[in-house]
Structure 1
Amino acid sequence: MRSLPHRSAHHTGPRDAIVFIIALFATLFAVTGLLTVAAKADGAAARNGLVTLNDVQSGTLLLNSKEPGKYVPAPLLATDAKIEVTGPMARARVTQRFINPGEGWVEGKYVFPLPEDAAVDTMKMIIGDRVIEGKIKEKEEARRIYEKAKAEGKKAGLLEQQRPNVFTNAVANIGPHESVTIQIEYQQTVHRDGDRFSLRFPMVVAPRYVPKEAADPQVVDFVPGSGWGTTQPDEKDLPPGTAHPGNAPDLTQPPVLDPEEGKVNPVALEISLEAGFPLGPVKSSFHKVDIQRTGKEGAKLSLAEKVVPADKDFELTWEPAETAAPTAGLFRETVDGKDYVLVMLMPPSGAVQPQAKPREAIFVIDNSGSMAGASMPQAKAGLLFALDKLKPEDTFNIIRFDDTHELLFPQPVRADRENIAVARKFVNGLSADGGTEMLPALKAALNDRTPNATSHVRQVIFLTDGAISNEKALFEEIARHRGRSRLFTVGIGSAPNSYFMTRAAEAGRGSFTHIGDLAQVKSRMAELVNKLEHPLVTNVTASWPEGTHTESWPDPVPDLYKGEPVVLAARMDKAQGDLTLKGDLAGNAWQVRIPLDAGETRPGIGKLWARRKIASLEADRLMGGDYEKTDAEILKVALAHHLVSRRTSLVAVDVTPTRPDGEKLESRDMPVNLPDGWEFDKVFGESMPAPVMRKAMRAAPTTMLASAQSPVMDSAQDRGLALPQTASDAPGLIRNGLFTLLAAFLLMLLWRRVTRRG
């Protein structure tokens, strides 16, 4: 057998060189392919708006995505509010600027509060120099219009009401590094209590507790002729306020930013005040302001810090100068041939007060987790103050609640020294923790063991922040079981649920008091105790001119407590003749006539009338009225007066698509601050649930965000995550280096093989 000839280096050199060159190019081609695939993956992530921590070069908020190690820059928001107060009315313009700091296309959704009596009638979407007016539509139709525009890549805005004091603003197709501005306008009346006038501008929606629900009631549905059946939810017997199975929650819970991560959503605020009478003290309760007087009756105010984070309500109060405040006001407007009037009348306090009946006072105090921080000391101080004002002939009890509830005494006891001492010790020992199961505590408070008693006036005083989502169930409980009780709500903290507080007090024939910090406890509780101790104006009736069809709200006129005015909004064919108000004032007949043709013209009275009518219709609906008929009437009124309501929304759509085909749209709920004074761990626990932001970097100073023409932000130090020290793509460089080392290693092996053969 012949052996193969030996190959010398002389004969094999050119062939091995060719093999080496081919291997070299193959290796380089493979490495290039791998780099290209990686680059495409990074490019796809960038187009989808995803970033890594090392991509971030300035302070920004990051939300988790489905891809590990990738995040979505949260849309940013800056708000500017301008409010003009003229006499008893206020007109507000709220401008919200949505900013997309990322590389992808986003839809930003923001949950925000407005006053519970706000008549929201205008929305404008501003894109560059173009202004697109929002149109009022039935809620479902507005949603369809918005979703269609969003899918087509058009910029669109949708303003919806979730509660009378909670709204959502959605803006679709905000491009990379782009901003879209939404402008909202609303009308409201100022609040009056005695000689103090006040205006509140809420800034943040507090997290709402979703109460535990018992198992849904079931009914057996039998198949005819078979004898067999299946259990089905019994919709007729569902507890009041319980959502039917399968229904989505009707209140959006936005992601909440841990205060340790910094504050977001800066707000600038300016107020122009024309009181209509010589002004005395003008004060801001919770924010520092710069005040410039503009004559004897006016003032202009702005925030001393220019912008503040949206984490607590703004409250402005003003009082008349040494002269007494006006006791009556009449304003009118003509719209589409109809006259609308707004009447405000302060009944006389009465020089001689009759002997007040002893009271049965039931105090209910919220000690759930949302009350932790500044709220709990306020509530405890308020309750201790009220206990000190009880008289020996009064009786009382205390109910505390979190996710459980507890009565201090089995039944109301005399307010003697011994029982008051026991109560004070009980209150001082309370701490805030747990959920907010308010309904069982409310039922216990309204459980009157002597419903026919006349020796005592029964009063329920409810101290809470109202951070619940089942308002409907609570309203129904009050309406069904209030009996002879009167319910007085005391809103505690920097961002109370004023809608619940106000409506609960109305349904319970009481009044609402707000305490925003410890400094207000003594004065506000003293005012409340004064109302509790003094007789109220009952059986108030309004007689409008004969022969004129008049529709006035509220109807019937509610009872009044000391310091509270009669406020009526009416529509009629012609505002002429006299309005006569009658009532029982401290046991004496009270009557006053108001000439309707003497009113001062003011714009917006018609919208205030419509808002009050809608509120009254909603109250009737909660009390067991005809749902379908009431909803149809609400829709009719809201559409006619261009108002956002539970049945209507404002929608604005740009005609030109801007998002390119194939570009993905990320939908993001915009984060909100935790209300000032709240404790994050007490609300959410040590391990945050899914709706809460998991990853966040502190935003830049709010002054930059509010005034910048583009999303320019200072670099920021992060409390929760480490910011990169350079702008390099560290993972990309490391990956490229590994590929290069691999190529070098393969080439080295090939070269050694060639030289070994040689």
Structure 2
Amino acid sequence: MRTTLKWIHVFIQLISGNSNVRPPNYTYIHYQQPLGYKPKKIPKERLLDSRPRKKRFEYAIVSAFVIALIALLLVLAPKIANASAFEQSTGSGDLLFNGAGKNNQPALHLKSEVSVDISGMIATTRLQQTFKNPTNDWLEGTYVFPLPDNASVTDMTIIISDRKIKAEIKEKHIAKEIYLQAKSEGKKAALVEQKRENIFKQHIANISPQEEITVELTFYQTVKYDNGYFEYRLPTTMTPRYTPKDNAHSRQKNQNLENSETQSTAIHLGTQGWNNNLSAIPFIQSHKPSESDQNSEVDNPIKIEIQLDPGLELADITGLYHDIKAERKNGSYQISTDKTWQSMNRDFVITWLPATGSKPEVALFKESIAGENYGLIVLLPPTEQTTEVNRSVTFIIDTSGSMGGTSINQAKSALMLALKRLSPKDTFNVIEFNSNTSSLFSSPRYAESGNLNSAFTFVNSLRAGGGTEMKPALNAALQSNSHDENLLEQIVFITDGSVTNEQDLLQLIHNKLGNKRLFTVSIGSAPNSYFMNKASQFGRGTSVHIGDIAEVHNKMQDLFVKLENATLQNITVDWPNHIDAWPKKIGDLYRNEPLVIAYKENTAVQSDITSNIHGFFGDGTLWQQTLTISNASTSKNNKGISKIWARKKINALMDKIISGESEDDIKPQVVEIALQHSLLSKYTSLVAVEEEISRPLGESTAHANVPLVSPLGQTLITTPQTDTPKALHLILSILLFVFGLMFHRLHRGAHNV
């Protein structure tokens, strides 16, 4: 037994880095067998058991010990490897308490309440989330949350008892200095920063024992209009983000211009809102399975109430992933979840459909603030007659660990439908990626039955697991060529977008897109909507989101319409000199997609605005409209238009960095517009400080964590990256070394008996 303990001691010393340790009773001997030497023949019965019983027992103990360690390492290996691959980010409603560290008691997330006011195309959202410090320590909290990628965050208030702490916008470094100073002085303070385009982080200092705090955020956004439906989306949690190894990038630009025949129409906008004859809106209610109404039985409960004034006669209102109930009051809808409290485990989405005959064609929304005039134009161009388009399509499907659970099934179903839609004149290929990238074919092949059957077999065999090394797959698709100039080259990218290197990937798309078009299919109940929308923008394509297996057919059918029909390209607007409109560069438009432009008048003179809008269909036909905006309108002031204009301008400026312009040149412009309009940005933060001192001198702060809620239906498979971490390699090597020594000693013992 003493020998066994010595072996365990040797093993521990080796793990600790002591390379000079030697096995017990082990002597290195080098000798040469004499010429003509013949080893003594060992009787058969001694070959079967040449070791004493005591030695056999010792080896059994050592073997069992080492085998148990190997088994443990195999179980922990995915977690060890995955820790270096995924960011340690948290979901919505997570208040992470940080400090000197007296204990690790979890903070209690009590509730979240959302109040939304939607008027036409503008949504104003107020999000309140209430937390409690259940400990007897003073705490500092860090609060991480997602918001819509087009949200203009303007206000933040911390409510503690009967006191309200209102935030101010400052440059990021100044805001942080103010917060840290207040924290050190024992004052209650709050700081909110933009970590990514759709992820924000909030710090709250000096929360007293047993105290409740409420965080209130206000933001504005435009609702989405596509394929005849309006959509409001509120993210409530996040999928863990994967951090790839490679962040290299390159630069190139490419754009084509076509000219041909002319189509011309004229539109005059004298009033705001949809340019339709408004009539009574009927009562509609959606039907979907509901959850428990018991607050205590729901993880991170949220209550959502919406007032909808659509400005159009409606045929349907639907809650895509939640049951909703609706009641008509004074010409608008009061909408809420069917069960008061819902879990914050998926995006909340509602859609509404205009009634037949009230399809919007153009809308104008205006706001006058501080003597300045702002406007938002939503224009739906006419669709071209359907023409047959032969295509070369490269499908990219994400099979990484974050796609585990229902997501991989949604992705495979979507891909299967897309493959079945191909024409024999089309060519295609399928690329799948996780930690590695693999292609079905070495180059695109025609969509003949044999090739399609191979593709069906390939897709059916796909399983989720591994890292999200997205760049090699995307690069392979961008470099793929159809070798047929008559084919329209398209890329269909099916993923949840859960990576941290969005900017690097967008630069890759910008540099290598060429004449291709990239379409994104967002998968899962909490995808990275910022990356998916931006990727389709830089890819001159469009995006669709599938959050439930029941949506696959309808959502993919909508995408097929866009894939198989010509686009409206090279769109320009001839604005007068006193109009500052964004975006400056307008991307391609697909069937049933609107053109959305925000503008500001840089003059106090009230006069009508006239502009010409024109673009080209895929066959070279020119489309053109004359747009006249009357400033004589007495319609209501639409609050939030100025914030939306400022957000669009900031987004366009940040896009220039991705396109290759210097960040040093762009940053001052972003800071100026963000400070002027009190907006969060990459370079500005909101900070709030209460003047009175709360925490007594000498009292330190403690920390605690709130557990996050995983996205609904997701089974995160945290398998290792391509290269196993060095620590794991070292431990496995040491185990093999110990095994080698043990069996070498066993072999010597057999010959020395």
Q: TM-score range by the shorter chain?
A: 0.7 to 0.9
Asked if 1:299 is matched to 2:333, the reply is: yes
- How many angstroms apart in 2 are the aligned matches of 1:443 and 1:509? 16
Partner-residue secondary structure (3-state), 1:273: strand
**Residue 447 of structure 2 is aligned with which of 412, 415, 421?**
415
Q: Does 1:677 align with 2:709?
A: no
8 A contact 1:107–1:667 mirrored in 2? yes
Task: Give runs of aligned pairs for residues 222-237 of structure 1, distance below 5 A.
Answer: none
Residue aligning to 1:555:
584
Q: Deviations over 1:561-592 (max 9, x none)?
A: 00100100111225623122111235322112
Whether 1:172 aligns to 2:205 is yes
Q: What is the correspondence of 1:407-556 to structure 2 with a 5 Å cutoff?
A: 407-449=439-481, 453-545=484-576, 548-556=577-585
Check if 1:596 corresponds to 2:629. Answer: yes
How many Å separate the matches in 2 of 1:609 and 1:438? Answer: 33
Aligned to 2:644: 608
Which residue identity does 1:173 align to in structure 2?
N
Distance change (3 Å), C-alpha of 1:429 and 1:508: same
CA separation of 1:480 and 1:669: change in aligned 2, threshold 3 A = farther
- What secondary structure, in the 3-state scheme, does the structure 2 residue paired with 1:459 have? strand
Distance in 1 between the 2:446 and 2:305 partners? 50
Check the 8 A contact 2:101/2:703 in 1, yes or no: no
Counterpart position of 2:126: 93
Residues 65 and 85 from structure 1, CA distance in 2 versus in 1: closer, same or farther, beyond 3 angstroms?
Answer: closer
Q: Distance in 1 between matches of 2:150 and 2:126?
A: 15
Q: Deviations over 1:399-455 (max 9, x none)?
A: 00001010000000000111111101110111101111101111011013358x521
CA distance in structure 1 between the partners assigned to 2:719 and 2:709 by the alignment? 13
Judge conservation of contact 1:187–1:607 (CA < 8 Å) in 2. Answer: yes
Counterparts of 2:393 and 2:684, CA distance in 1: 41
Counterpart mapping for 1:164-203 below 5 A = 164-203=197-236
* SS of 1:619 mapped into structure 2: helix
Seen in structure 2, the aligned counterparts of structure 1 residues 341 and 683 have a Cα distance that, compared at 3 Å, is farther
Matched position secondary structure for 1:580:
strand
Offset at residue 328 of structure 1 (A)? 0.3
Among 643, 646, 658, which residue is 2:679 paired with? 643
Question: In the TM superposition, what is the alpha-carbon distance from 1:66 to its structure 2 partner?
Answer: 10
Note if contact 1:75-1:668 (Cα within 8 Å) is conserved in structure 2.
Answer: no
Contact 1:125 1:183 in 2 (8 A): yes
1:282-361 pair list within 5 angstroms: 282-294=317-329, 298-350=332-384, 352-353=385-386, 355-361=387-393
SS at match of 2:105: strand
1:420 aligned counterpart, secondary structure: helix
Can you list the C-alpha shifts for 1:586-642, whole angstroms capped at 9, x where unaligned?
532211222211664312111111000000011111111021110111111100110
Letter paired with 1:641: H
Q: Which is further off, 638-647 or 314-323?
A: 314-323
Alpha-carbon distance in 2 for matches of 1:279, 1:684: 50
Quick one: distance in 1 between partners of 2:546 and 2:104? 40
Judged with a 3 Å threshold, the aligned counterparts in structure 2 of structure 1 residues 499 and 683 are, in CA distance, closer, same or farther, namely farther
Return the alpha-carbon distance in structure 1 between the equivalents of residues 301 and 185 of structure 2: 32
Aligned-residue Cα RMSD (Å) equals 2.4
Mapped to 2, the partners of 1:606 and 1:579 lie a distance apart of: 20
CA distance in 2, matches of 1:645, 1:79: 24
Q: 1:141 to 1:682 in 2, by over 3 A?
A: same
Q: Which residue of 1 aligns with 2:739?
A: none
Once the two structures are superposed, residues 286-316 of structure 1 have per-residue CA deviations (whole angstroms, 9 ceiling, x without a partner) of 0112221236x52111122211221100000
Contact 2:95 2:706 in 1 (8 A): no
Q: Choose which of 629, 649, 666 in structure 1 pairs with 2:702.
A: 666
The SS at the match of 1:149 is helix
Contact 1:493 1:515 in 2 (8 A): yes
Return the TM-score normalized by structure 2: 0.74
8 Å CA contact 1:62–1:72 kept in 2: the answer is no
SS in 2 for 1:607: helix
Unaligned 5+ runs, structure 2: 1-93, 252-295, 726-753
Code of the residue aligned with 1:78 in structure 2: it is K
Q: TM-score, normalized by length of structure 1?
A: 0.73
Report Cα offsets for 1:485-538 as digits up to 9, x if no partner. Answer: 111010000000000001111111011100000111000000001000011111
Structure 1 residue 77 displacement after superposition: 4.9
Q: Give, in whole Å, the separation in 2 of the partners of 1:65 and 1:240.
A: 42
Closer, same or farther: CA 62–552 of 1 in aligned 2, 3 Å: closer
Greater mean alpha carbon deviation, residues 490-499 or residues 167-176: 167-176
Deviation at 1:67, TM superposition (A): 8.9
Tell me the amino acid that sits aligned with residue 661 of structure 2.
Answer: G
Specify the SS of the correspondent of 1:616: helix
User: Equivalences for 1:144-293 in 2 at 5 Å?
Assistant: 144-213=177-246, 264-293=299-328
Does residue 386 of the first structure (1) align with residue 418 of the second (2)? yes
User: Secondary structure at the residue paired with 2:232?
Assistant: strand
Structure 1: stretches of 5+ with no match in the other structure? 1-59, 215-237, 242-260, 690-758
> Amino acid of the residue matched to residue 542 of structure 1?
V
> d(CA) in 1 for partners of 2:457 and 2:716?
28
| Structure-2 change in CA distance of 1:419 and 1:551 (3 Å) | same
1:269: how far off? 0.8
Residue 122 of structure 1 aligns to which amino acid in structure 2?
A: D
Work out the CA distance in 1 between the residues paired with 2:641 and 2:157. Answer: 22
The 8 Å contact of residues 396 and 432 in structure 2, kept in 1 or not, is answered as yes
Q: Which amino acid aligns with 1:167?
A: F
* 2:615 match: 583
How high is the sequence identity, in percent, across the aligned residues?
Answer: 39
